[in-house]
Amino acid sequence: RSRSAKDMFEGEALGLKAMYECSQGEDGLRIPKVYHYGDYTNGGGSLLIMEYLQLAGRSDDRALGRAVAKMHLAEPTAEAGNPNGCFGFNMDNTIGGTPQPNGWTKGGSTQDWIEFFRDERIGHQLNLAGDSYCSKLWQNDIAPRLHTLFENVEVKPSLLHGDLWSGNIGSVEGKPTIYDPATYWGHHEAEWGMSWCAGFGKSFWDGYREVIPEDEGFLDRKPLYDAYHQLNHYNLFGGGYISSARGDLETLKRYLDKM
């Protein structure tokens, strides 16, 4: 069945446009410019027209780290689709084949982020997964204490690729590029929820940390962001991903119990 541009391409097009706006300048990511998306007039499907890039394999990981950090530091603007500096995105999109709700928060504070990630990310995936163990662990032991993970950090809206793994990273004429996004505005640390299959080594992290230093509690929060993607993988593929998600949530509970 033919799918409309709104269903098929609008989320990707708006995500790429935002990433393009937030990657301007010499050291930015090479993001393709979107020219048009829409439906065929005969009702026979939809299309997305964007700049052609001659993609090559991953090249300079230090440059990639610096370029991703530059995108994360870009100010939310109307041109980038976030005129009010909030968390979320201007439409729901998908993470893989899973719906990803992106309703805007009321503001851009750390508490706004905590509530957004609690409800629109982990809560949403748990509802889809239907795993009673994970749901009880989250609702009883983690969600009520989630603010504790953020006591020493100020979260600001950063534009995220949202699904950053090795299959979505390449280069164009030696410059780093990332594509196939699940874009939204969130805590920059949430970008690393897929790092378990992204192959980020010392060179990448050196480049990233030259621009954005590691915040206190980064490693303690990481299982939170990993859990979102582990749950999503379970919802997409089933199998052992639910064990990984349980492990992440158990790690969070143990940390919070020590606080």
Spatial separation of the C-alpha atoms in residues 162 and 185, rounded to whole Å: 9
Spatial separation of the C-alpha atoms in residues 16 and 19, rounded to whole Å: 5
**Residue 56 DSSP SS3:** strand
How is residue 100 annotated by DSSP? E
Distance of CA 146 to the CA centre of its chain: 19
- Smallest CA-to-CA distance from 233 within 131, 118, 115 is with 131
Residue of 163, 180, 220, 257 marked catalytic: 163
Structure token digits, residue 247? 């492990």
* 92 is known as an active-site residue: no
Beta carbons within 10 angstroms of residue 250's beta carbon: 16
Q: Which residues are catalytic?
A: 163
